[in-house]
Amino acid sequence: AGHADTKNETYAQEIDVDVLIVGAGFGGVYLLHRLRDELGLKCKIFEAGQDLGGIWHWNCYPGARVDTQIPIYEYSFEKVWKDWTWSEKYPGYAELREYFKHVDKALDVKKDVAFNSRVVHAQFDQASKKWIVKTEDGRTARAGYFINAVGFAAKRHFPDWKGLDSFKGEMHHSSFWPDSGVDVKGKRVAVIGTGSTGVQIAQETSRDGAKVTVFQRTPNLALPMRQEKLNPESQQANKKNYAQLYKDRMKTFAGFPYDFAKKKTMSDTPEEREKFYGKLWEKGGFEFWLATYDDMLYDMEANRQAYDYWAKKTRARIQDPRKRDILAPVEPPHAFGTKRPSLEQDFYEQMDKPENEVVDIKAAPITEITETGIITADGQHREFDIIALATGFDSVTGGMKNMGLKDINGVDLAEKWKLGTWTYLGITCNGFPNMFFLYGAQGPTAFANGPSAVECQGEWIVDAITKMRKENVEVLEATKEAEEAWRKKVMEESDKTLFPGTSSWYMGANVPGKPREQLNFAGGLPMYTEACYDSLDNNFKGFTTA
Ligand code: N01
């Protein structure tokens, strides 16, 4: 595909830049602004999509909405927040797209972004000390620094069900939902998958008058969102606290405005526990997950208390006994919080409606997709007009493994990561000098609020590049030993928690054949930041410099 905007140098066949960034979501735009406007570097972004926003550019499935509250889910740049107003505590994708338009106005981003520009090859050339980055449509960038900001959900996951291509109705993966929308009113809609996406699609299409059938393999231990309309005046008044708020979020485990309570589950009496859980439950959002007892994610007995409370509250909302047992079983399907809870509004009430169905595909898995519907192992054939595949992503590593990234010896990153993932600090790799990435493997990624994680790692990348330039370091490369040590640290932090015991995308367990290992840093943002600066402040510990 040729590019219309030939006047814009960004689209030239050959470009020479200081920094080439891949991805124009939260991460890429953060770094473009800081490196270009503060450090004065020449920067360009290659973006596969047609607009800014990353996940919010791709995702427009029914009900797509962020589950981190405003003003934590936004940039800390005053230039951006000072004249932006949100309408809801948890905004939907349309408002997030508007936000990125505002970001563009405030920071003048787009002139340096080549859209429809998919990177298919990148390698560091040792002779010129430059990265050579090639796009699908045959353009080449040469860059001193190469930054990957492709996010954790850049590669969709399609299960290999027999007949997947044969369905004659409308079938869409959640992140390829048509921009023009799909009219679901009165239609028979199948939603396969009950991650954050599946829950949102099921809830919304049911509200929109579809007859929804949810195919659930694992219950989502979803929490009440408690959405609120935001008032512009109080939002404006609160802005005087923003600078402090953005500093403080970095001091919490997950980059939120709250943190785990410094107390143990079983040291409270049952009455105290009930009261404490009740308070968190009423607040809504992730408080019941990330502001609860600090042993919840570490201790099975503590965890069971949380699960039982969740099940009691949730079961009370579902009248149909069969659906109740599938959606919120008495026995936990896995430790609470070791898979990402979705934030729901009336998901359980919607699913409880007699016209909607919940199918337990743990008991009877999907065996085939036909021209008209879905067959399960119990021989049932259900017919549909629309199938929504909410089956997730080859998460965290899939994006970077699929863009032709070669190390200095020409070995593809996919090969390097075939049996497991090796990075240094979740920010760079041995064999990939002057390459940085964020919101990816072995960083705080899945265990942190997106913008917080991006600003935490982005700041470090800016500091590292600043230091390199000040100290005339032309080439910075992580050592193999440092990679081994970081991998060990990532596994150690994870092994302290209950995460490894659950099959989740956090553990790479959602994609058949993918190595099962912790893909994220589970020690929390403060510990992560300390490790990164321990390297930077100690003469680039763990790197070779030349
Ligand atoms: O993907 P998922 P997602 N047969 O991998 C099922 C973020 N996000 O798109 O759990 C049957 O979580 C799979 O079943 P199981 C958020 O971080 C945020 O929902 O593996 N079922 C699961 O139910 C989130 O965690 C928001 O047993 C199969 C589902 O498909 C991440 O993105 C909104 C299957 C996949 O769930 C990914 O969420 C949306 C098979 N072969 C997403 N394969 C916000 O609100 C998969 N499944 C911000």
How far apart are the C-alpha atoms of 321 and 41, rounded to whole Å? 62
Separation of 426 CA from ligand 1 center, angstroms?
Answer: 23
For 212, the enclosing helix (H) or strand (E) is strand 211-216
520 CB near ligand 1 (under 6 Å): no
Instruction: Let me know: does 175 contact 153? Beta carbons within 8 Å.
Output: yes
H helices present in 300-353, as ranges: 300-315, 321-327, 347-352
* Position 4 pLDDT exceeds 60: no
Separation of 44 CA from ligand 1 center, angstroms?
Answer: 32
pLDDT value for 539 = 97
Per-residue pLDDT of 223-257, as tens digits, reads: 999 999 999 999 999 999 999 999 999 999 999 99
Instruction: Let me know: does 444 contact 456? Beta carbons within 8 Å.
Output: yes
Predicted complex ipTM exceeds 0.95: yes
What's the pLDDT band for 2 if we cut at 50, 70, 90? very low
Q: What is the arrangement of strands in the sheet containing 366-369, beginning at the earlier edge strand?
A: 366-369, 373-376, 381-383
H helices present in 3-120, as ranges: 26-32, 55-58, 78-81, 93-107
* Position 35 pLDDT exceeds 50: yes
194 CB near ligand 1 (under 6 Å): yes
Per-residue pLDDT of 164-214, as tens digits, reads: 999 999 999 999 999 999 999 999 999 999 999 999 999 999 999 999 999
* Position 109 pLDDT exceeds 90: yes
Mean pLDDT of 459-481: 98
451 CB near ligand 1 (under 6 Å): no
Instruction: Let me know: does 494 contact 518? Beta carbons within 8 Å.
Output: yes
Separation of 396 CA from ligand 1 center, angstroms?
Answer: 13
* Position 494 pLDDT exceeds 80: yes
345 CB near ligand 1 (under 6 Å): no
* Probe target for ligand 1 pocket from 225, 358, 391, 499, with the most ligand atoms within 8 Å of CB: 391
* Probe target for ligand 1 pocket from 197, 340, 375, with the most ligand atoms within 8 Å of CB: 197
218 CB near ligand 1 (under 6 Å): yes
333 CB near ligand 1 (under 6 Å): no
Write the DSSP symbol of residue 35: I
92 CB near ligand 1 (under 6 Å): no
Task: Characterize 459-471 residue by residue with b for buried, 16 or more Cβ atoms within 10 angstroms of its Cβ, and e for exposed.
Answer: bbbbebbebbeee
360 CB near ligand 1 (under 6 Å): no
391 CB near ligand 1 (under 6 Å): yes
pLDDT value for 5 = 60
| Cis peptide leading into residue 512 (ω within 30°) | no
Per-residue pLDDT of 349-404, as tens digits, reads: 999 999 999 999 999 999 999 999 999 999 999 999 999 999 999 999 999 999 99
Separation of 339 CA from ligand 1 center, angstroms?
Answer: 9
Nearest of 241, 196, 297, 287 to residue 524 by alpha carbon: 297
Its pTM surpasses 0.80: yes
Per-residue pLDDT of 83-101, as tens digits, reads: 999 999 999 999 999 999 9
What's the pLDDT band for 3 if we cut at 50, 70, 90? low
Q: Which atom of ligand 1 is nearest to the CA of 361?
A: 11
Dihedral sign from CA coordinates of 110, 114, 115, 119: negative
Separation of 224 CA from ligand 1 center, angstroms?
Answer: 18
What's the pLDDT band for 8 if we cut at 50, 70, 90? confident
| Residue 8 Cα distances to 25, 34, 93, 141, angstroms | 21, 21, 29, 14
Nearest CA to ligand 1 atom 41: 159
How far apart are the C-alpha atoms of 438 and 532, rounded to whole Å? 13
174 CB near ligand 1 (under 6 Å): yes
Contacts of 289 (CB under 8 A, 6+ apart): 223, 296, 337, 341
445 CB near ligand 1 (under 6 Å): no
